[in-house]
A and B are shown apart, each in its own frame.
Chain A
């Protein structure tokens, strides 16, 4: 019986995969467009999952870091004429370096204080993107970012880009699972479960936290890279606090430890916000209500993370 069930399950997965891969063939352009955003956003959300799910640290700077990745590649390609694919590594590197430089010292702070620090980082990065006009063009944004080209094949349309986005999301998913299963992942999970116990087992707590921060930044930067070459025009407002909140919400709704859950949450939230667009302000009111009601009635997405406050020692205010 087991053998039969496995192959039945296998069938469903294969069919689902086939439907997904064939999406651009049968779906209207707008849907492919939305799907691309969903796939791109899974990167910063997964990155956030590392930080939040495995170290208990919530970050509201992911939007800014996503922006650092986007701006790095945008500037390298439009101002220096680099080929898009060549900028992937620099974009990710830049994001990681900046994140560790600004946030490395803050990672040792207790939970709420760390969130506050990430808000500071978010705002500082956004303000610099907005005001360092010589570098970033400020409120004018960066235009005419080239599409990614593989050989002579340009990923100009949503349909063509879809395959890259799908591949990127897929690779991220598998990479993430690998990291979680590795020794690093073990350290990270130990950290979130009980910091005192983890430190008592001589886990290099500080270094592990910075590594988690670096990982989350790397994913954000990679996502930003994809984003820049998809929308082909970037502006600081795309990387503000609202974006950070959105990514955080996506990772919270999905449950921090379930990567698949995060992906589903991303899909649902992004589809919801896109399809509500015609409703103007009401769309934003609906979005706010989703956040509010979601947190009020379904914090279960993050129940795995809730440290039992009653049993925590008196001095630990997380």
Chain B
């Protein structure tokens, strides 16, 4: 009888699931990112980009008459939940996924997409291990740590003239990946870091780490991490009397950096994914975007929204048009894609590991905003 109760419970639950109304024949576009937890500001930017792109596409008639329906899965910036979130998208089922933020999350959830044969365009994770010769269904538009960390290492030494560089990094995939490549690049130029410490993403107090760094007397501090740790590190570093200039890669490319550390973040130099001054279209898009989202509860975040928007509007949508929702055809279409995207100098294309090849952009924090980096 007790087993019967168990069966009854499962049966009841099954009825609930099957009774849910069937959705119309929309094209389902899955978006997975953290809308809560530490990565919220990034996830929200991604969602905003997706909403804007889908709205425009649907307003123009959709894809051959079919509208796109967004299915957003929040993974709370947590790798474990990200796997479940992706599984839910697979079960939905969605036709493809454009999104993914956080190297640890994407490295975890791409397994699910690969096993399910679901095209997945990654917009927010930079660890090189994501696009290798092993992934068939996963593509990535954002450039990797290899490019970014190398570029910032180069810039730090050659353009900023740093000689004593200290490194503080998150212990997750993003932080470790960046650190490794940064150190390797420095070594090629013939420099060793003067200090290296790590932290956990959820840490709030960095006195211990920063005290060690202060002892090393650096002139540059590379921060490989994300919000909210990075601005906290900047604030506390300045409090402790560390005068080194901050450098970093895309994890810092978030408008919240300036909100949370208005004074300390000034002068930070970082590589970023998008800047509106690169070309006129970028500026036009950024203006439209800011206007659309400035009234909402969450402030607009162009840097993060830009890739999601471009991936959907210029890569996913055209492929959906030409290849329909057949997953294999979609995959092939994406892998063959090449073209021009705003704010990306030159032409971009996917290499055979599914990585979009492009040049990166260097910016500096000035007057509370990201400004193109002009030299010193």
Which A residues fall within an 8 A CB radius of B? 9, 12-13, 16-17, 19-20, 23, 27-31, 33-35, 38, 130-131, 133, 138-141, 143-144, 156, 231-235, 237-238, 260-261, 263-264, 267-268, 271, 275, 277, 280-281
**A233 with B4: in contact, given A34-B13, A140-B176, A277-B88 (CB under 8 Å)?**
no
Choice from B10, B36, B74, B173 contacting A35 with Cβ under 8 Å: B10
Q: Are B17 and A130 in contact (CB under 8 A)?
A: no
Binding stretch for chain A, among B77-85, B252-260, B272-280, B359-367: B77-85
Q: Are B7 and A271 in contact (CB under 8 A)?
A: no
Q: Are A141 and B6 in contact (CB under 8 A)?
A: no
Confirm or deny: B323 has a beta carbon within 8 angstroms of a beta carbon on chain A. Answer: no
Q: Are A268 and B9 in contact (CB under 8 A)?
A: yes
B173 (CB) vs chain A CBs: closest residue: A140
Choice from B7, B17, B108, B176 contacting A20 with Cβ under 8 Å: B7
Q: Are A143 and B2 in contact (CB under 8 A)?
A: no
In the complex, which of the residues B5, B7, B35, B115 has the most CB atoms of chain A within 10 Å of its own CB atom? B7
Residues on B with beta carbons closer than 8 Å to the beta carbon of A28: 14, 17-18, 91
Ranked 6 nearest A-B pairs via Cβ: A260-B2, A16-B4, A139-B172, A16-B7, A235-B80, A30-B91
Min CB distance B230 to A, Å, is 16
Residues on B with beta carbons closer than 8 Å to the beta carbon of A31: 10, 13-14, 17
Residues on A with beta carbons closer than 8 Å to the beta carbon of B88: 30, 277
**A143 with B10: in contact, given A238-B80, A275-B16 (CB under 8 Å)?**
no
In the complex, which of the residues A9, A156, A267 has the most CB atoms of chain B within 10 Å of its own CB atom? A267
- The distance in angstroms between the C-alpha atoms of A271 and B111, with both chains bound, is 25
- The distance in angstroms between the C-alpha atoms of A188 and B91, with both chains bound, is 45
Residues on B with beta carbons closer than 8 Å to the beta carbon of A261: 2
Q: Are A267 and B91 in contact (CB under 8 A)?
A: no
Q: Are A281 and B36 in contact (CB under 8 A)?
A: yes
Q: Are B80 and A267 in contact (CB under 8 A)?
A: no
A156 (CB) vs chain B CBs: closest residue: B115
Confirm or deny: B171 has a beta carbon within 8 angstroms of a beta carbon on chain A. Answer: yes
Choice from B13, B91, B104 contacting A141 with Cβ under 8 Å: B104
Residues on A with beta carbons closer than 8 Å to the beta carbon of B172: 138-140
Taking CB atoms and an 8 Å cut-off, the chain B residues in 1-45 that contact chain A are 1-11, 13-14, 16-18, 35-36
Q: Are A263 and B80 in contact (CB under 8 A)?
A: no
In the complex, which of the residues A17, A19, A140, A275 has the most CB atoms of chain B within 10 Å of its own CB atom? A140
Confirm or deny: B358 has a beta carbon within 8 angstroms of a beta carbon on chain A. Answer: no
Contacts beyond the supplied A20-B6, A235-B79, A267-B6: 9 A-B pairs with Cβ under 8 Å: A12-B1, A13-B1, A16-B8, A19-B11, A28-B14, A140-B173, A141-B80, A156-B115, A237-B80
- The distance in angstroms between the C-alpha atoms of A260 and B3, with both chains bound, is 7
B35 (CB) vs chain A CBs: closest residue: A280
Residues on B with beta carbons closer than 8 Å to the beta carbon of A267: 6, 9-10
Q: Are B104 and A140 in contact (CB under 8 A)?
A: yes
Min CB distance B343 to A, Å, is 31
Interface string of B48-88 (1 = CB under 8 A from A): 00000000000000000000000000100011100100011
- The distance in angstroms between the C-alpha atoms of A237 and B37, with both chains bound, is 13
Residues on A with beta carbons closer than 8 Å to the beta carbon of B176: 140
Choice from A13, A231, A237 contacting B78 with Cβ under 8 Å: A237
Choice from A17, A20, A280 contacting B10 with Cβ under 8 Å: A20
B81 (CB) vs chain A CBs: closest residue: A237
Q: Are A16 and B80 in contact (CB under 8 A)?
A: no
Choice from A23, A133, A144, A281 contacting B171 with Cβ under 8 Å: A133
In the complex, which of the residues B11, B87, B108, B111 has the most CB atoms of chain A within 10 Å of its own CB atom? B108
Min CB distance A275 to B, Å, is 7
- The distance in angstroms between the C-alpha atoms of A310 and B236, with both chains bound, is 54
- The distance in angstroms between the C-alpha atoms of A206 and B74, with both chains bound, is 47
Residues on B with beta carbons closer than 8 Å to the beta carbon of A38: 10
A21 (CB) vs chain B CBs: closest residue: B7
- The distance in angstroms between the C-alpha atoms of A13 and B200, with both chains bound, is 51
Confirm or deny: B234 has a beta carbon within 8 angstroms of a beta carbon on chain A. Answer: no
B10 (CB) vs chain A CBs: closest residue: A35
27 residue pairs from A and B, CB less than 8 Å apart: A16-B7, A16-B8, A20-B6, A20-B7, A28-B17, A30-B88, A31-B10, A31-B14, A38-B10, A139-B104, A139-B171, A139-B200, A139-B201, A140-B79, A140-B107, A140-B172, A141-B79, A231-B83, A233-B80, A237-B79, A260-B5, A264-B2, A267-B10, A268-B9, A277-B88, A280-B35, A280-B36
Q: Are A143 and B3 in contact (CB under 8 A)?
A: no
Choice from A16, A23, A232, A260 contacting B111 with Cβ under 8 Å: A232
- The distance in angstroms between the C-alpha atoms of A30 and B116, with both chains bound, is 14
- The distance in angstroms between the C-alpha atoms of A143 and B16, with both chains bound, is 33
Choice from B13, B35, B74, B111 contacting A143 with Cβ under 8 Å: B111
Q: Are A9 and B1 in contact (CB under 8 A)?
A: yes
B104 (CB) vs chain A CBs: closest residue: A140
Residues on B with beta carbons closer than 8 Å to the beta carbon of A141: 79-80, 104, 108
Taking CB atoms and an 8 Å cut-off, the chain B residues in 95-150 that contact chain A are 104, 107-108, 111, 115
- The distance in angstroms between the C-alpha atoms of A19 and B12, with both chains bound, is 13
Choice from B6, B87, B173, B201 contacting A263 with Cβ under 8 Å: B6
Min CB distance A158 to B, Å, is 9
- The distance in angstroms between the C-alpha atoms of A261 and B9, with both chains bound, is 12
- The distance in angstroms between the C-alpha atoms of A2 and B33, with both chains bound, is 60
Residues on B with beta carbons closer than 8 Å to the beta carbon of A33: 87, 91
**A16 with B79: in contact, given A28-B17, A138-B171 (CB under 8 Å)?**
no
Residues on A with beta carbons closer than 8 Å to the beta carbon of B173: 139-140
Residues on B with beta carbons closer than 8 Å to the beta carbon of A133: 171
Q: Are B6 and A30 in contact (CB under 8 A)?
A: no
Min CB distance B100 to A, Å, is 15
Residues on A with beta carbons closer than 8 Å to the beta carbon of B6: 16, 20, 260, 263-264, 267
Residues on A with beta carbons closer than 8 Å to the beta carbon of B17: 28, 30-31
Q: Are B9 and A264 in contact (CB under 8 A)?
A: yes
Min CB distance B94 to A, Å, is 13
Residues on B with beta carbons closer than 8 Å to the beta carbon of A23: 10
Residues on A with beta carbons closer than 8 Å to the beta carbon of B170: 139
A145 (CB) vs chain B CBs: closest residue: B111
Min CB distance A149 to B, Å, is 15
